Structure 1
Amino acid sequence: MKKHLNTLFVTTQGAYLAKDGETVAVRIDGGVALRVPLHTLASIVCFGNVGCSPFLMGFCGERDVGLSFLTENGRFLARVQGPVSGNVLLRREQYRRADDPAFSAAVAGACVLGKVANSRTVLLRALRDHGDKVDAPALQEGIDRLGAAIRRLQGELALDEVRGVEGDAARVYFNTFDHLIIRDKDHFFMRRRSRRPPLDRINCLLSFLYTLVVNDMRSALESVGLDPAVGYLHRDRPGRAGLALDLMEEFRPMADRLALSLVNLGQLQQGDFAVSDGGAVRMSDTARKTLLVAYQKRKQEEMVHPFLEERMSLGLFFHTQALLFARYLRDELDGYPPVIWK
């Protein structure tokens, strides 16, 4: 099993990363603010105006350390990658299977099943833990409708039918999401899902977290030799990591729960966000750092993998799911087993 390593998040604007022996040196205002041994890192993620030396880029490529560049708000810009790893036969099989409608529908169905089941668990936990503070009938209705979606996904559906179920389930879930927010409802609320740009604080949090999740999934897929761009639920589109988006679906509710915890526990507050004249919402540097620390801690928590029945850190689940998908492509598994939280 691959060792779970850390991710270095660099958010200070104007920072410059350089190779210093076997370490990454983070330089700010002409001085070295931090040195991190590269062997302790799985990836480096830079937000906004952060520079990097070509020597460090090459070093990361040689050591298989992912180096990604995002905007301050978390939109993916680019990724530096070393030589493509893995078996070319595996990637060729991935490409062939993407042209098979039945196989694509099966993969899409499994990914959406994981997403819907885990979304339902988020509602169940809210009802259990905060039943006296939430609209219990509304949550129960959402739970029942998501349960119906799960039953439908367990049948054989065409790809368009899977997408239809996913769309309906997402509407049910996000129409219920506002009931899960129990603190400072005047400033934290979910009226509808908005992305580019996010139009409220909750959507801002979710969009940022989803970017972190898809970046981790993309790194995991590359590490086992799969092409993150060729998906099954998310079809080919220039610049889109289709397979990473497919396999991240089951992890979206994990990000949702983290966003809710940060708000409901008061770790993020109204003043941590700025609203532009056009309505777009942005996080402050302080809020971004709070979120990144919480995300890193969440990935270090240990859980039992429901399929392998092995205890591991949550951060390793991304790599494990990539390995399981590779086994599915090799016909070593009868189907792709999504992570379904309990």
Structure 2
Amino acid sequence: MRKLLNTVYILQEQAYLTLDGENLVCKIDGETKLRIPFENVENIVCFNYLGCSPALMGKCVSKTIPINFISPQGKFLAKVCGETKGNVFLRVQQIDKFRAEGLLLTQNTMAAKFSNCRQLIRRTLHDNAELREDEDIQKVLEVLKEGIDKVYEAKSIEEVVGIEGLCAKNYFSIFNKLITNKKVDFEFQLRTKHPPLDPVNALLSFVYTLATNEVAAALETVGLDSYIGYCHTLRSGRSSLACDLVEEIRCIVERFVITLLNLKIVGEKDFEQKISGAVWLNEDGRRKVLSKWQEKKRSTMTHPYLKQKIPRGLLPYVQSNLLAKYVRGEISTYPSFLLK
């Protein structure tokens, strides 16, 4: 059990939540592990299988404390809550805030994305001295640095998106050099999405999808509408706000993919090519990636804003919570995630 920003996260899959007077109680195998007074709780997010007692659900409904049930893999399952008027007001505030501050939010998000890309490249250079003088890599580092300045000079969201497209093209032009294990079975040429046309693109697309779904689930737990974004245009069936927030954490996905390839955790036999030319992970490949992604989510990191150690799997929930606080006016600025 972790408590961050007045939200309680139940991470132990065999935990069971119950009620004891005015306290939330967490039990594992019948033994009480922790109790928290309800007055200190605003939201509960459960990643456990066993759930919670009906008495606790009734208490939370009476106190308008939502209980969110998420699968251990990060898929949103259900929410137990009382009256929904709070979420209605929050969503109205969300629309108003994004209309008024959409450009600034987009600028901050893209600046954070470029900074995080630079950090990812620098990490590779730190571990591989032979790449430190590579002219192409140094050029991309400079393009990304200039991109951070340019987004804040932009006068519209469309202009920022155009700068992002140019930076992304340059970034992926040297992505193959970050795959430093020369025994990897395949190479990355350029980013292809719909559909992915090589194994590296297939990996990127698959894990981007996992991350986006996890962010969408996190947004649901704080009452924000994941379909109303500030950067990505509205499109029926697309979680635009989840796509916005994923931009900040794409670096984690990309570092994860690079690690899978450099350690040869996945190989040529884990992919299949369709008649159309699309390349997808096969069943064994998906199983490997999902297993390693779950391991990654259990590893810890120090959150740059909270200055606390958290499991990486909680990062989407922390960022969603911070965004909700910004929308409600509880904090003056939404702190985009910056890789340290």
Using structure 1 for the length normalisation, give the TM-score: 0.76
Counterpart of 1:159 (choices 157, 160, 164) is 157
Q: Answer whether contact 1:306 1:340 (CA < 8 A) is retained.
A: yes
Are residues 1:288 and 2:267 paired? no
Match of 2:98 in 1: 98
- Which residue identity lines up with residue 225 of structure 1 in the other structure? G
Q: Answer whether contact 1:230 1:242 (CA < 8 A) is retained.
A: yes
Match of 1:65 in 2: 69
Are residues 1:37 and 2:43 paired? no
Match of 1:327 in 2: 325
Counterpart CA distance in 2 for 1:164 and 1:131 is 33
Q: CA deviation at 1:238?
A: 0.5
Change (3 A) 1:223 1:236: same
Deviation by residue 1:294-332 (Cα, 9 ceiling, x = unmatched): 111111111111111111111111111011111111222
Match of 2:113 in 1: 115
Counterpart CA distance in 1 for 2:186 and 2:131 is 15
Match of 2:63 in 1: none
Q: Secondary structure in 1 aligned to 2:106?
A: helix
Match of 1:201 in 2: 199
Match of 2:241 in 1: 243
In terms of mean alpha carbon deviation, does 270-279 or 110-119 score higher?
Answer: 270-279
Q: Answer whether contact 2:229 2:242 (CA < 8 A) is retained.
A: yes
Q: Answer whether contact 1:135 1:179 (CA < 8 A) is retained.
A: no
Deviation by residue 1:258-289 (Cα, 9 ceiling, x = unmatched): 00100111111111111223321121222111
Are residues 1:148 and 2:146 paired? yes
Counterpart CA distance in 1 for 2:279 and 2:72 is 23
- Which residue identity lines up with residue 199 of structure 2 in the other structure? R
Match of 2:122 in 1: 124
5 Å-filtered alignment, 1:176-255, equals 176-184=174-182, 187-255=185-253
Q: Answer whether contact 1:134 1:180 (CA < 8 A) is retained.
A: no
Q: Answer whether contact 2:296 2:312 (CA < 8 A) is retained.
A: yes
Counterpart CA distance in 1 for 2:215 and 2:184 is 34
Q: Answer whether contact 2:154 2:160 (CA < 8 A) is retained.
A: no
Q: CA deviation at 1:227?
A: 0.4
**How large is the Cα RMSD of the aligned pairs?**
2.8
Q: CA deviation at 1:4?
A: 5.4
Percentage identity across aligned positions?
33
- Which residue identity lines up with residue 89 of structure 1 in the other structure? F
Match of 1:300 in 2: 298
Change (3 A) 1:256 1:165: same
- Which residue identity lines up with residue 98 of structure 2 in the other structure? A
5 Å-filtered alignment, 1:260-279, equals 260-279=258-277
Larger relative contact order, structure 1 or 2 (CA cutoff 8 Å, min sep 6): 1
Deviation by residue 1:70-114 (Cα, 9 ceiling, x = unmatched): xxxxxxxx97644676532111101223333xx111111111112
Q: CA deviation at 1:5?
A: 2.7
Q: Secondary structure in 2 aligned to 1:292?
A: helix
Q: Secondary structure in 1 aligned to 2:95?
A: helix
Q: Secondary structure in 2 aligned to 1:240?
A: coil
Counterpart CA distance in 1 for 2:111 and 2:317 is 19
- Which residue identity lines up with residue 38 of structure 1 in the other structure? L
Q: Answer whether contact 2:226 2:242 (CA < 8 A) is retained.
A: yes
Match of 2:20 in 1: none
Q: Answer whether contact 2:300 2:312 (CA < 8 A) is retained.
A: yes
Deviation by residue 1:191-230 (Cα, 9 ceiling, x = unmatched): 1111121100000000000011011100110000100000
Q: Answer whether contact 1:198 1:204 (CA < 8 A) is retained.
A: yes
- Which residue identity lines up with residue 321 of structure 2 in the other structure? L
Aligned residues: 285
Q: Secondary structure in 2 aligned to 1:64?
A: strand
Q: Secondary structure in 1 aligned to 2:174?
A: helix
Change (3 A) 1:6 1:240: farther
Counterpart CA distance in 2 for 1:38 and 1:290 is 26
Q: Which of 1 and 2 has greater Rg?
A: 2
Deviation by residue 1:15-68 (Cα, 9 ceiling, x = unmatched): xxxxxxxxxxxxxxxxxxxxx83339xxxxxxxxxxxxxxxxxxxxx9632469
Counterpart CA distance in 1 for 2:133 and 2:276 is 32
Q: Answer whether contact 1:68 1:80 (CA < 8 A) is retained.
A: no
